[in-house]
Amino acid sequence: MLKQILSRSGLIARGVLDDFRQLLSPPLCIGCDRDLAAGDPVFCNACLESLNSKCAGTGPVCPFCGWHDLNNRQCRFCSKSFKIRLYYWGRYEDELVQYIGKFKFQGVLELGIRLTDEALKRLANLLCENYYDYVIPVPLHGSRRRKRDYNQSDIIAKIVSMAINAIYIPDSIFRVRSTRQQAKIKNEDRRWKNVENAFSLTSGSDIDFNRKKVLIVDDIVTTGATIYEVSKPIREKDPEMIDVFSLAYAG
Ligand SMILES: [Zn+2]
Ligand SMILES: [Zn+2]
């Protein structure tokens, strides 16, 4: 018994010591694990510079083929009368893969907030030119949402909506069935099949999309299949415009 009490008090003492150490030692850069200089709680200057030199902010491009000149036909979606346009911060490669992964799967929410802020420094002006009415995050399926406890696209969308002064609407679209992660599927046809008819307007939702400008928000756009499917029920309501904002583009 005495042994148990002693070992438990040892654990508590160690815990207090760890807290104390954390208080004394400066936090580490999420990118390189070096001590952070005062002022930035997430990145050191070198990591931030490297990130921003690769992620310049681009758009609008076609989310299905990445083509810039949307009036010049490039893929079957660019050539359709209703265009969806994508604005993204950087290519889904190098450290952006690592950081989005930490934000999405390891619960490092302050990293997601910071990445979104950086992305908006490059893209907010371009987005503001379009005066969006609504900002809508790509929803997670209920089961995955319960497992993860948060939807990374909700967090990004909320920050974007505040920056561009549009209404954030998290619950107008829902995922009717669970789907696999698009990034894990290599075959393009399978990616389209995976999300086919996976989204629907939430019943009882009285959002009026008619003649409205809508910005859909996702953390990563891969083939554009998810965006196409999320936009389907909105397109049926005759919006004026559907654009997309993402941190990264992997297409
Ligand atoms: Zn660093
Ligand atoms: Zn295209």
Tens digits of residue pLDDT in 117-126: 999 999 999 9
Which has more confidence, 158 or 27?
A: 158
| pLDDT value at residue 2 | 47
Q: 16-45: string of b/e by CB count within 10 Å (b at 16+)?
A: eeeeeeeeeeeeebbbeeeebeeeeebbbe
The CA distance from 133 to 167, in Å, is 6
Confidence of residue 145 (pLDDT cuts 50, 70, 90): confident
- Give 26 Cα–ligand 1 centroid separation in angstroms: 13
- pLDDT tens digits for range 189-200: 898 899 999 999
- Give 143 Cα–ligand 2 centroid separation in angstroms: 32
pTM listed for this prediction:
0.86
Residue 103 has pLDDT above 60, yes or no: yes
pLDDT averaged over every residue in the chain: 87
State the average pLDDT over residues 218-245.
94
> What are the boundaries of each domain within the chain?
56-249
Topology of the domain covering 56-249: Rossmann fold (3.40.50)
C-beta of residue 120 within 8 angstroms of C-beta of residue 163: yes
Beta bridge partners of 152: none
Ligand nearest to the CA of 28: 1
C-beta of residue 41 within 8 angstroms of C-beta of residue 110: yes
Confidence of residue 83 (pLDDT cuts 50, 70, 90): confident
Residue 142 has pLDDT above 90, yes or no: no
- Give 224 Cα–ligand 2 centroid separation in angstroms: 10
Beta bridge partners of 86: 61, 244
Residue 218 has pLDDT above 60, yes or no: yes
- Give 49 Cα–ligand 1 centroid separation in angstroms: 9
The CA distance from 60 to 202, in Å, is 28
- Give 57 Cα–ligand 1 centroid separation in angstroms: 21
